Each structure stands twice: as structure tokens, then as C-alpha cells.
Amino acid sequence: MNQFDYKLLGDDTVDGAACWKLESHPKQSKWSQYTSSHLWVRKDNYVVIQIENYNNGRLLHDKLVRRVRSTDIEKQDSI
């Protein structure tokens, strides 16, 4: 069962790598502590290399609360 709704926000780059930028929202609040997330997926290998998580602030504006960036991605055993 898919617990999130996804929307393509467009193309972007992270550390020189071409990416698709996606936005996700949990279908129910119990499935995530965040109200939304942005994900950057590399076009060449489909690896998520950055995630930003947001929560609603006092004025109902999404506030960035966490950012995770993957670096030094290597191929291991043909994977």
C-alpha cells in the first residue's frame, strides 16, 4: 500500500548530478513525523541523494527541520 502522494517538481542538480526533484506528502499523519518532504533522485542511477523534511510552523508555513545528503556513492558487486 502506498502511504505517500508524490509530485514531480521538476529538474535540478545536486553536486553536479542531474536529478529529478520530487515532493511527497503522507496520506495520513501517522505515517510520518513530517508534513512534507523533498527528494532529489539522480537521473543516471536512480539513487536518492538528498532529502529535505518539513513540518508546519506556527503560521502553517512548512519549515525545514532536517536535510540528509548522500555523498561518495559507489558501485558494489554490480549494484
Q: What is the pLDDT of residue 41?
A: 97
Q: Confirm if 53 and 34 have CB atoms less than 8 A apart.
A: yes
| Grid-cell match 512548512, residue found | 62
Q: What pLDDT sits at residue 57?
A: 66
Residue in this structure with the C-alpha cell 508546519, named with its chain if needed = 56
Query: pTM here?
Result: 0.84
pLDDT-flagged residues of the chain (< 70): 1, 57-60
Quote the mean pLDDT of the chain.
Answer: 90
